Amino acid sequence: MKIDVKVPAVGESITEATIGSWNKKNGEAVKRNDVLLLLETDKASVEVIAENDGVLSISAQAGDVVKIGATVGQIDSDGKAAASAAPAGTETKAAPQQQTPSMTAASSEGKPLSPAVQKIVAENNINTSDMSGTGKDGRLTKGDVLMSLGSNGATPTSVAPAVQKTPETTSSKPAAPVQAPLFPAGNLSSKQGEKKLVPMSTIRKKIAERLVEAQNTAAILTTFNEVDMTKLNDIRNKYKDKFKEKYGINLGMMGFFTKAVIEALKAFPNVNAYINGTDFEYHNYYNIGIAVSTERGLMVPVVKDADQMSLFEIENAIRTYALKARDGKIGVDDLNGGTFSITNGGVFGSLMSTPILNPPQSGILGMHKVEDRAVVVNGQIVIRPMMYVALSYDHRIIDGKDSVGFLVKVKEGVEDPERLLIGV
């Protein structure tokens, strides 16, 4: 019996997806609950699993855009696997393509490659055996592979991509006479490197659309303040070992900032609201989105009902989402329902920024790098660990008074963390 492999419904507003990669080969025997392929939607990656044991037949290739409900393959429960299953998408070729070490799903050190990296490696026939990665645990990142394409140290088996030369390198006409040099002689030449066009992923396209949407539809303003991190650092240093011993995770800053944000949202409910047509939509719950940077772009998984969580539960939820995002396991449900977001550019060294709203939310808090600075305390100049914080907000629903008051409330909570524990 043949059973269709169909693109599942992956979200209320999602009508199509892109096949990121096939985990199984055409003609390969699969078992029930095996992961067959990875779908990339405009919000997250979704795994499609086998519903039965059988032999897989593939009818749609990696990179194809497919509609929800479309058939992308079949599983024949009565079939027998081919002696040497061909890679996905090679059934239309006259002879099967010999698989090189570079096309395997892991690097020479046995570390798995992400779907995005696998796709670039396969398309350009790159040998990763001698490449070192800059990702977590030495994994190859998309940037590592793209850098190897244009470097002189590209691996011997890699095939240079087709490149469109610039007019200067392809024209047979002599160059126009050069006017008097504007720079000292000896530094006039400029080498034009190769160019490579890399298609935007589905998620990256959606991120671009949402950023433009936020800029074009909301009246975005940003207000700033600074936070003295002395007390928070003292508490973390005092209890971090006991916290790690009891819960098995580190005591970070995000849990405290999340609790401070929740108290501020309770005091200024407009910041926790949406604009819905000509109405204001208020929420009596607190679903806090935490921005996570991944190889595939920025994602904002949502810690739901964060006001009902302990510090450990918030920290554990953030850690879980970060691991899921790194491994490409974030689901659509993980990203939906946020009422307010927090982003921390400080982990990359940012001292100050103006974060962009995550529609339909009306506010987002930007955290930044903690840096020792000279400040005046009780008439004395002292050195304190300080952080600039920024609130970007939609001025259509949030007035300047409320935006400043909200940020002051966050500042008070972080600078006096004990008050977060008793809710004052």
Q: Which residues contact residue 17 at a Cβ distance below 8 angstroms, ignoring those fewer than 6 apart?
A: 7, 10, 39, 40, 41, 46, 65, 66, 68, 202
Secondary structure (3-state) at 141: coil
Instruction: Note whether 341 and 128 are within 8 A (CB).
Output: no
Residue 42 Cα distances to 102, 296, 299, angstroms:
28, 11, 11
Q: How far apart are the C-alpha atoms of 353 and 344, rounded to whole Å?
A: 10
For this structure, is 399 an active site residue? yes
H or E element in which residue 200 lies: none
Residue with tokens 């554990």, as numbered in its chain: 316
Within 10 angstroms of residue 329's Cβ, the number of other Cβ atoms is 15
H or E element in which residue 420 lies: helix 418-422
User: From the candidates 34, 241, 399, 416, which is the catalytic residue?
Assistant: 399
Structure tokens at 318: 């953030």
Q: How many CA atoms does the CB half-sphere of 148 hold within 13 Å?
A: 26
Structure tokens at 109: 């050190």
Closest CA to 119 of 142, 136, 99: 142
For this structure, is 333 an active site residue? no
Backbone angles phi and psi of 201, in degrees to 5: -70, 165
Q: How many CA atoms does the CB half-sphere of 227 hold within 13 Å?
A: 32
User: From the candidates 368, 395, 402, 416, which is the catalytic residue?
Assistant: 395
Beta-sheet strands, E only, within 26-111:
29-30, 35-40, 45-49, 54-58, 65-67, 71-76
What is the identity of the amino acid at 385?
Answer: P
DSSP-derived pairing of the beta strands 54-58 and 45-49:
unpaired
Secondary structure (3-state) at 331: coil
Closest CA to 367 of 311, 274, 290: 290
Q: How far apart are the C-alpha atoms of 245 and 276, rounded to whole Å?
A: 46
Provide the annotated active-site residues. 395, 399
